[in-house]
Amino acid sequence: MSVQPVLIDGDWRESAGDDTFQAVNPATKQPLTDEFPVSPWSEVEEVLQAADVAFATVRGWSGERFAAFLDAYADAIEARIDAIVDLAHQETGLPVEPRLKNVELPRTTNQLRQAAAATRDGSWVNATIDTATGIRSQLAAIGPVAVFGPNNFPLAFNSIAGGDFAAAVAAGNPVIAKGHSSHPGTTKLLAEAAHEAVQATDMPSGFVQLIYRTSHEDGAKLVSHPSLGATGYTGSRQAGMVLKEAADRVGKPIYLELSSINPVFILPGALSERGDALADEFTSSCLMGAGQFCTNPGIVVLKASDETDRFVEAVAAGFAKTPPGTLLSGGVEQNFRAGIVALQRAGAEIVTGNEPADGDRFCYANTLLKVTGDQFIKNPHGLQEEAFGNASLFVIASDDEQLARVAEQFEGNLTGCFYTDRNGSDDELYDRLAPIVRHRVGRLLNDKMPTGVAVSPAMNHGGPFPATGHPGFTAVGIPASITRFAMLQSYDNIRPHRLPSTLQDKNPDNMWRKIDGEWSQQDIT
């Protein structure tokens, strides 16, 4: 048993902290061997100082430098695939294949390479040139970024390898990674690959750093520290709100992905047309990965009918016969069970599940709950509490009017889905409901479950609070996600040779720039 080192200013060094923690294998409930340190504030300050120095070094570097690092890092991860996915499996219980090895790891390296391509191309800076006034502007690095990763994607959202990391680096910022306590070993393996890439591409020593855990107070001090540029956080609403308050108080941007129940509306025509297929599609989407996705469909809204009853029965049967997946940790199981109790207290009735499952691992029966539209409208907040895991709540409205009133109750969500029939009988109702839901969600879907989150430039993995902290930004999708970690910089009457290369008259790399209102890849002549 050994205490693992932290990565500070380019050195893997023993932590100054006395406290340690261990990861637990959720499939066995047994602790894993390695111990990981809790960093004291003095150590966090060292990290901040090194990040500050690194930022002063890289400020103004061309995108090519950051791209070279990101590409080298993706290669270094690929040189360690088996070790990474094996340890991630032990720490999270997620299957090696296909999930970790064939889906999440390639997604991770793909994100790093897409970020590399975007920073190399440079168009993400939104260079804007007004030749009449001589004013030019662009987005530029905001300063060291702290990334707090979640428990549910040990690779693709990892604090030192995931989407926030890639975006922060692509914008030109050093990253301070705060690993998630449920998969510290995986995070360390990724950090070793990152460290190798830092060295291979001559990045400054403080450009990528890793600590595993701090006290809550020190987390709040980190996100509000004068040296910090911004924070990316994905995780629980409670912990996130503490960080948000600390950062907001000193005007430090913090991008949070907090909680989302992702309402799915299945309209009557669709249910008549393909109810059985939809029951299968929903069951599979909801139980995949034991429901531990940010975009898990946590609420389904239906209109009362015999077909709705049959749909509920079919889903209940599917839930009952599907073995429950392993939950990520004891804490997740505990919160999940508490979440179900809270929904019951708020008036939801159990349709199936709500019982302990296999005691040798963290898990709980696939659970389906239901309420009437009346009940939902009476207690919309209580019935929108997220039970993160393999559960969903059906809301059964009495009529079209009540469907609209249910829709109006939704808080901000990442996604909202509508299933309608092919012959148009649902269209009038869709036209009434969709604008209400549209305003409350980041991504609207038709005839599709929300669980897939493509890395597309048009993706919005974001949405109004409480899904995130600001509805204008996305955590997934390049280049949009990069702009979160940038500040707007205007140049007024700056002597031409002093302008950054991206804003000079010559445009040798054919960046897209907005010149006098028109997008162009040309020089200014």
Task: Specify whether the CB–CB gap between 157 and 461 falls below 8 A.
Answer: no
Q: How many residues bind a second copy (CB under 8 A)?
A: 72
Residue with Cβ nearer a second copy (351 or 417): 417
Max Cα distance, the chain (Å): 74
Q: Which of 257, 333, 385, 386 is catalytic?
A: 257
With CB under 8 A as the contact rule, the residue among 403, 486, 502, 507 that binds a second copy is 486
Q: Is 512 in the site for a second copy (CB under 8 A)?
A: yes
Task: Specify whether the CB–CB gap between 365 and 327 falls below 8 A.
Answer: no
Helices 216-223 and 41-58, packing angle to 10 deg? 20
Residue with Cβ nearer a second copy (43 or 164): 164
Residue with Cβ nearer a second copy (28 or 489): 489
State in angstroms the smallest separation of the CB of 221 from a second copy: 17
Site for a second copy in 395-414 (CB under 8 A): 412
Helix (H, G, I), strand (E, B) or coil at 77: helix
Question: Is 96 exposed, middle or buried, given 0-12, 13-18 or 19+ CB atoms closer than 10 A?
Answer: middle
Residue with Cβ nearer a second copy (192 or 257): 257
State in angstroms the smallest separation of the CB of 409 from a second copy: 10
With CB under 8 A as the contact rule, the residue among 79, 428, 472, 505 that binds a second copy is 472
From the list 69-77, 285-293, 388-396, 451-459, the region that binds a second copy by CB under 8 A is 451-459
Question: Residue 522: how many CA atoms within 13 Å on its side-chain side?
Answer: 7
At 73, list the tokens: 């890092």
With CB under 8 A as the contact rule, the residue among 473, 482, 502, 507 that binds a second copy is 473
Residue with Cβ nearer a second copy (39 or 123): 123
Site for a second copy in 195-224 (CB under 8 A): none
Helix (H, G, I), strand (E, B) or coil at 496: helix
With CB under 8 A as the contact rule, the residue among 395, 430, 437, 451 that binds a second copy is 430
Question: Is 378 exposed, middle or buried, given 0-12, 13-18 or 19+ CB atoms closer than 10 A?
Answer: middle
The reply to whether 294 belongs to the active site is yes
State in angstroms the smallest separation of the CB of 171 from a second copy: 11
Q: Is 93 in the site for a second copy (CB under 8 A)?
A: no
Task: Specify whether the CB–CB gap between 380 and 407 falls below 8 A.
Answer: no
Q: Which amino acid is at 133?
A: T
State in angstroms the smallest separation of the CB of 423 from a second copy: 13
At 426, list the tokens: 């649902």
Q: Which of 294, 333, 363, 385 is catalytic?
A: 294
With CB under 8 A as the contact rule, the residue among 81, 465, 501, 509 that binds a second copy is 465
State in angstroms the smallest separation of the CB of 30 from a second copy: 39
CA distance 155 to 160: 9
Q: Which strand (E) or helix (H) includes residue 487?
A: strand 486-492
State in angstroms the smallest separation of the CB of 168 from a second copy: 14
Residue with Cβ nearer a second copy (32 or 494): 494
CA distance 7 to 14: 9
CA distance 204 to 54: 5
Say which residues have a Cβ less than 8 Å from residue 377's Cβ, sequence separation at least 6. Answer: 402, 405, 406, 409
With CB under 8 A as the contact rule, the residue among 60, 323, 330, 356 that binds a second copy is 60
With CB under 8 A as the contact rule, the residue among 204, 268, 389, 462 that binds a second copy is 462
What b-and-e string marks burial along 181-220, b requiring 16 or more CB atoms within 10 Å of the CB? bbbbbbbbbbbbbbbbbbeebebbbbbbbbbbbbeeebbb
With CB under 8 A as the contact rule, the residue among 392, 460, 502, 507 that binds a second copy is 460
State in angstroms the smallest separation of the CB of 460 from a second copy: 3
Residue with Cβ nearer a second copy (172 or 353): 172
Residue with Cβ nearer a second copy (136 or 195): 136
Site for a second copy in 104-163 (CB under 8 A): 128-130, 132-133, 135-137, 139, 142-143
Map tokens 């000193």 to a residue.
Answer: 250
Q: How far is residue 332 CA from its own chain's centroid?
A: 17
Task: Specify whether the CB–CB gap between 357 and 386 falls below 8 A.
Answer: no
| Vertex 444: Cα angle to 438 and 449 (nearest 5) | 140
Residue with Cβ nearer a second copy (40 or 382): 382
Task: Specify whether the CB–CB gap between 210 and 191 falls below 8 A.
Answer: yes
State in angstroms the smallest separation of the CB of 153 from a second copy: 19
Q: How far is residue 454 CA from its own chain's centroid?
A: 12
State in angstroms the smallest separation of the CB of 202 from a second copy: 20
| Vertex 416: Cα angle to 412 and 421 (nearest 5) | 155
Site for a second copy in 30-59 (CB under 8 A): 56, 59
CA distance 20 to 187: 16
Residue with Cβ nearer a second copy (1 or 458): 458
98 DSSP assignment: I
Site for a second copy in 227-286 (CB under 8 A): 244-245, 248-253
With CB under 8 A as the contact rule, the residue among 456, 504, 509, 524 that binds a second copy is 456
Q: Is 469 in the site for a second copy (CB under 8 A)?
A: yes
CA distance 88 to 77: 13
Site for a second copy in 487-506 (CB under 8 A): 487-495, 498
Site for a second copy in 289-348 (CB under 8 A): none
> Could you list the active site residues?
257, 294
